Chains A and B, each alone.
Chain A
Amino acid sequence: MTEKKNNIPNEDIRPIGEIDRTVHSPARLMILALLSVVESVDFTFLLTQTGLTRGNLSSHLGRLEEADYIQINKEFVDRVPRTLIRLTNIGRQAIQTYRDTMHQVLDGLLKE
């Protein structure tokens, strides 16, 4: 009876299992955090701000683009071609959901 009871997931920690892993990775979270406070950036800006390597950054951007969290476009800015990266509405919603979930999970943690 006790064993059966132990197999029932605790409702309080259950949301941890449902956290969006695409957002949860520290590198991707850094990228999304930066993109959430600006309109658009180029690859070099993300490179200097996050401190990631080129390969690493490219791979994380690919993953975020696959999930439709970011949009990568080639545009002309002041007659100079630039690859601009911006957060999509889906990506913004994903960060919001992630933040709410983490709040919900961690709010009571380490409190008496």
Chain B
Amino acid sequence: MKENNQFKQLAKKAYLNYHEDGIVDLIMGTSCLGAALFFATGSVVFNMFTWMPVLFLMPLKNKITFPRIGYVKFGTRRGRPARMTIFMLITLGLGMLVLGTILFVNTGRLDPTVRTWLGENLILVLGLIFAAILTAAGFTSGIRRLFIYAGLCAAFFITGFLLNLPKFAAFMALGVIIFLSGVIQIVRFVRKYPIPDGE
């Protein structure tokens, strides 16, 4: 079936509208802050904050987004699966890269010089991989602010590396910015889309 460009725009607009709520930003920001606290304190409790916020995605969407703009399920049409597949492949590839590097470092199969460099700069490597994942997510979803986050992420981690700042500094700075951006968006969203009468 030949696709109509206007219909593609319609799908894109509906998709962006759905992500206008800033909930993903809140979750990403909290995860980054969790990572920062984990690196700052070394406490496993804060490690949980890196993945636990994801569990709140659907409850928050149910509470804030769906009553306001309604529920929409973006299906398998209009090329979205192809984009999602690309994103999943990139994420998987980068994940394998991290895992492979960690295994190489731990099993001692890596050149000692490279191993030492990776051990000292693991945070920088992780930061740049995170920036790459954000870029891939921005590309596949069309959410432009993800590119800004990716740029900030790369900038913070490189600056932290060059200025020899503590490991948690870049995560903290990125987490605060993404979290605040999420808060601003959620406030705007709630004001822009009041709950329709009769709900």
Contacts and interface: CB of A to CB of B under 8 A. Distances in A.
Interface in A17-36: 33-34, 36
B70 A43 contact: yes
Interface stretch (A4-12, A59-67, A77-85, A104-112): A77-85
B41 to A, nearest CB: 34
Interface string A24-56: 000000000110111111111111110000100
- The A interface is mostly helix, strand or loop, or mixed, namely helix
A99 B70 contact: no
B71 A77 contact: yes
**Chain A contact patch, size range:** 20 to 34
A45 B73 CA distance: 10
A96 B62 contact: no
Interface of B: 1, 4, 7-8, 10-11, 14, 17, 58, 62, 66-78, 193, 196, 198-199
What are the 5 tightest A-B residue pairs by CB atom distance, in nearest-first order? Answer: A39-B75, A45-B70, A44-B70, A37-B11, A42-B71
